Amino acid sequence: MNHIFYILYNFQSLRVVGLLAGSTMKRIISALLWGLLGILSFGVLIQGYHLLIRPINIGLGRLGIIAIVIGAVVASIAYTIEVRLLSNRRV
């Protein structure tokens, strides 16, 4: 969890230097948080399946890799879609 705050802090320092604009900064942080939500949701679904249906025969490392891929996909989709929603005034 400390790594996420470190990443967000570094983005803040980039904004102070002037490398990132304010709206771009907000979009990046928003996309990272949506990616984190995707990772956590995947973890909850896996635990629920394990508890209610049956244990999964996939190692913890592979589940972690799958969760990171899901988080990256969710973050990239959130970053891309937010521009379209803002242009259509839906956000």
- What confidence tier does 26 reach under pLDDT thresholds 50, 70, 90? confident
> Any alpha helices (H) in 18-59, and if so which ranges?
22-52
- What confidence tier does 27 reach under pLDDT thresholds 50, 70, 90? confident
Over residues 72-90, the pLDDT tens digits come to 999 999 999 988 877 777 5
Answer for the pair 31, 71: CB distance below 8 angstroms, yes or no: no
Cβ–Cβ contacts within 10 Å for residue 75, how many? 21
Q: pTM above the 0.75 mark?
A: no
The residue-averaged pLDDT of 8-21 equals 56
Q: Output the pLDDT for position 16.
A: 47
**46 Cβ neighbours under 8 A, 6+ residues apart:** 56, 63
**Domain-wise residue ranges, the chain:** 21-87
Q: Which residue has the tokens 């304010």?
A: 22
Tell whether the model's pLDDT for residue 64 goes beyond 70. yes
C-alpha to C-alpha distance for 91 and 23, rounded to whole angstroms: 14
